Amino acid sequence: MEATVSLISYTPQPDALCSVASKNCVSKEVPGFDMYANSLNTALESGHYSILEHATFTFSIENMTRVTLAQFTRHRMASYAVKSQRYTSAKGVDYILPGRIIELLNSNDESFNKFDQYHTSLKVFLDNLIDNKIPNEDIRYLFPEGTTTNMIVTMNGRELLHFFELRCCNKAQWEIRNIAKMMLKLVKEVAPIMFAKAGPPCVSGKCREKNPCGKA
């Protein structure tokens, strides 16, 4: 199971709107949408990023782990709505294991077979807690960090560029990187000028990593 990402809402004509915002700074009259051409590029080249705050993008992200949720929510210039572990049933909660660990579990190495027993007994134990009317707010203390969740997140164009710079990098952790790449693909379709050079620093300039991945 892998996380899925959908762009569920966004400001109409994001490139045009931000171009109008940038034109407004240098026009006598308030510019109309018809005035927009490639002025957004010019504004971005001069570092006028605040105009991108006028366009917002809302994503639904399903089946992401709480590991990734913790990393995601470090980005403060965003709005979040995350599935509650208090108000949704603890029955049948699912979790994701990294591929590298699944490979070991599927190998014939006996030392890893114990995980199956742990996994089964954890599920039984959680079900027992539910049957004993232990509230969800307590049961969740026993969930693995790889437990999946769903969230709605809204970011503006400026914050997204920053997010992509950090999280599309090959040095970012694999799950948040995969999600960031899916988000970038979706916004590029609706705001191609804004996100033309989006991605890790090596896409538009120079890698800042101390130990670069070597795949700039």
Q: Which residues bind ligand FAD (CB under 6 A)?
A: 74-77, 159, 162, 166, 171-172
Residue 33 CA to residue 48 CA, distance in Å, equals: 19
Q: C-beta of 208: minimal distance to ligand FAD in Å? A: 11
Tell me the two tokens of residue 205: 């300039």
78 or 142: CB nearest ligand FAD: 78
146 or 201: CB nearest ligand FAD: 201
76 or 100: CB nearest ligand FAD: 76
The residues, ordered by sequence, that sit 6+ positions from 135 with a Cβ below 8 Å of its Cβ are 86
CB 141 within 8 A of CB 37: no
21 or 161: CB nearest ligand FAD: 161
How far apart, in Å, are the Cα atoms of 180 and each of 15, 29, 114, 140, 148? 20, 38, 34, 27, 17
How far apart, in Å, are the Cα atoms of 124 and each of 91, 92, 135, 171? 10, 10, 16, 38
Q: C-beta of 176: minimal distance to ligand FAD in Å? A: 8
Q: C-beta of 169: minimal distance to ligand FAD in Å? A: 7
Nearest to 26 by CA among 62, 51, 63: 51
Active site (catalytic) residues: 167
Nearest to 80 by CA among 94, 93, 68: 68
